Amino acid sequence: MTMIDEGPLRALLAEAADGLAVPEDAVERIASIASGDGPKADIVRTIVPRGRWGRVALVAAAIVVVAGGVTLIGGTPGTSQGHRTVAGPSAVAPGVTGAVPSTTVPLGSHNRLGNGGSTGSSSTPAGAGAPFAANAPAQSNPTVITPSVSPAPLPTGIIGQPAKVVTTGTIDLALGSDPVGPAVTRLTTIANGAGGFVAKSDVQVGPSSGTVPSSGTLVLQVPQAAFASVLTQVQSIAKVTSMSSTSTDVTSQYVDLQARINALQVSRQQYLTILGQATSIGDILAVQSQLDTIQSQIEQLQGQLNLLDSQTTYSTLTVSLSQSGHRPPPPPTPQSGVGRAWHQSVSGFTSGVEWLIRIAGRTLFVLLVLAVLAFVGRWAWRAWRRRML
């Protein structure tokens, strides 16, 4: 293989280099700059990458770090610092309601909703937490919203009059081995005490032997403003197995009925005037027929209006009572030492796995952030070293 000789190459390079004039004041200039140890801005320039992609990567890494920090500091959904989504009306005490289908409220705060929505409902199975079951003994979810003790007046609607809201609710109570009778009595007392009444009562009491469980259903009509307090008292009677509540804003329907009734009344008045001026039998009969039709319509609409009035004045709470009918299971026989240890071991293992799963998400995120930081740090360090040398 042909290669150039080292001797001539060395001589040629030395000859070419010797012909290069050295800048005269360069040495003094460098020495003077170095005596001040260089401008500080150069240090910053060595840190910040010069390439476009390098700077983009640096900015992206900074964004990731900041976002991660904010997420860590601010907490994640599901923690005590987070928010909980609650179906609108169920979290709202009557009198405050504006019936929005769903809203998000900070934990521990009262829900102040507008009145723009029309209908909302929530269904709360047993153990899943009752949004407004503050004092329910059987609720396991501690994140409940305490209903307003003194309900505020209904807010004025967008159409210029107080909102009309129809509130209904159902609640199922498990009495266990307790009899149904005292519960019915207590429910009646609660309804009467709140200014309401028991609209319907259907109680089936089993034989004294207890083989057939007793049950019953009561429909309570309570004033709208007392609905929350009644609900709270009802929850305190027995274990709540399920609960639901529905609020419907009927303000527009109410106003519409009023307007139609007013219009029909004006028409009736005009027909009455015409009737007073009629001379022929035919005219009188024709006007009378129209008057009858209008009167019928007015009464029909007035009935609907009265129904709405009643529904918005009194809330309906349907309470279902049920007796479990079975005796509580006997306490387990004491286990032997080995059996108890085995169960404790299994329980401990399960708890450990649950703990691992619980912290896996956050740990993974922290590891991801640390990996990004390590990558950026390594890259910055290598860039620093590369620029330094």
Partner 1 sequence: MGGKGGQEDIETWLAEGYVTSFRTACLILGNRSDAEEAVQEAFLRAWRFRKSLAPGSDVRPWLYRVVVNTCNSKLRSEIPHRDRRTADSELDRLAAPGDGPTDVEQSGDIVRALQSLPVHLRVVVVLRYYADLTEREIATAIGRRPGTVKSRLHEARRLLAMHPALRTLDNGAESHDSEVAE
DSSP code, position 239: E
Sign of CA dihedral 185, 189, 192, 196: negative
Contact 286, 140 (CB under 8 A): no
Residue linked to tokens 């289908």: 101
Which residue lies nearer to partner 1 by CB, 23 or 328? 23
Work out whether 8 is an interface residue with partner 1 (CB under 8 A).
yes
| Binding piece for partner 1, criterion CB under 8 A, among 37-45, 86-94, 133-141, 171-179 | 37-45
Task: Choose which of 24, 31, 142, 337 interacts with partner 1 (CB under 8 A).
Answer: 31
Which of 4, 41, 44, 357 touches partner 1 by CB under 8 A? 4
216, containing H or E segment: strand 215-223
Site for partner 1 (CB under 8 A): which residue of 41, 44, 51, 329? 51
Identify the burial level of 75 via C-beta atoms within 10 angstroms of its C-beta, where 0-12 means exposed, 13-18 middle and 19 or more buried.
Answer: exposed
Is residue 357 involved in binding partner 1 (CB under 8 A)? no
Tokens 């920090």 sit on residue: 69
Position 386 contacts partner 1 (CB under 8 A): yes
- Locate 24 and state its tokens: 């005269």
Which residues are CB-neighbours of 313 under 8 A, at least 6 positions away?
223, 224
- According to DSSP, the β-strands at 165-176 and 314-323 are parallel
15 contributes a contact to partner 1 by CB under 8 A: yes
Cβ(169)–Cβ(242) below 8 Å? no
Pairing of strands 239-249, 83-87: unpaired
Q: Is 44 in the site for partner 1 (CB under 8 A)?
A: no
Q: How far is CA 4 from CA 12, 13, 15, in A?
A: 12, 13, 17
To partner 1, the closest distance from the beta carbon of 60 in angstroms equals 21
Q: Which range touches partner 1 (CB under 8 A), out of 9-17, 225-233, 288-296, 315-323?
A: 9-17
Q: Does 10 bind partner 1 (CB under 8 A)?
A: yes
Which of 44, 338, 357, 389 binds partner 1 (CB under 8 A)? It is 389
The DSSP result for 158-198, as a single string, is TTSSB--EEEEEEEEEEEETS-HHHHHHHHHHHHHHTT-EE
CB 35, min distance to partner 1, A? 8
The H or E element spanning position 29 is: helix 26-35
Span interacting with partner 1, options 8-16, 61-69, 285-293, 345-353, rule CB under 8 A: 8-16
Tokens linked to 49: 């990458």
Select the residue interacting with partner 1 from 26, 70, 73, 281 (CB under 8 A).
26
Q: Which range binds partner 1 by CB under 8 A, 18-26, 65-73, 88-96, 209-217?
A: 18-26
Residue 13 sits in the site that holds partner 1 (CB under 8 A): yes
Query: Is residue 1 close enough to count as binding partner 1 by CB under 8 A?
Result: yes
Q: Does 47 bind partner 1 (CB under 8 A)?
A: no
Q: Measured from the CB atom, is 20 or 357 closer to partner 1?
A: 20
Contacts with partner 1, residue ranges (CB under 8 A): 1-6, 8-10, 12-23, 26-27, 29-31, 33-34, 37-38, 42-43, 50-51, 386-389
